[in-house]
Amino acid sequence: MLTYGLDGVLVMDELENLATNGNIGAEYCLAVAYHEGKSVSRDRAEAVKWYLRAGQKGHLEAQYWLCIIYREGIGVESNALESLYWCRRAAKKKHPKALYALGQWYYGGYDRNMHTDYLRAYVWFSRAVIAGEVGAQDMIDLLEEQMTDLQVLEAKKIMERNLP
């Protein structure tokens, strides 16, 4: 269990000890602390190191943040392939923001080198809506204006086949 000081600040020595010994929750908390500069000096490279450790072990939020970090180049050089890799890992676990981010990738909102695919974008935004992501419905509405009726029908059929 993580210990809190009287002022609500994580006791960094204990957190670092837990993280160093492989505690996935502590790894993620330490990543956030370095990312945001809470209780330690902001160090984006150190944050990435701990996000990677937690993400590789399957920590969902760490995986989502790695998607953002590599997309935006926060503490690392921007890398679309790494961003997509982590985004897909988090989306497989139905992380709402990762589902939305994948929709944005296919819509063409993040990388000009990636081919726009409205059908896939529609599917990922639909999954984001189901997962409760606010704003995904707006993207579906926008796509429905840009897609043919046949394309929308095809996207809905894909959704029906993939839903449990």
Buried b (16+ CB within 10 A) or exposed e, 119-132: ebbbbbbbbbbebe
Q: Are 81 and 53 spatial neighbours (Cβ–Cβ below 8 Å)?
A: no
CATH number at residue 77: 1.25.40.10
pLDDT band at 163 (very low <50, low <70, confident <90, very high): low
Question: What total of structural domains would you count in the chain?
Answer: 2
Task: Please indicate whether residue 160 or residue 140 has the higher confidence score (pLDDT).
Answer: 140
72-110 pLDDT, tens digit each: 999 999 999 999 999 999 999 999 999 999 999 999 877
The pLDDT of residue 162 is above 80: no
Same domain? For 69 and 127 the reply is no
107-136 pLDDT, tens digit each: 987 766 678 899 999 999 999 999 999 999
Same domain? For 79 and 105 the reply is no
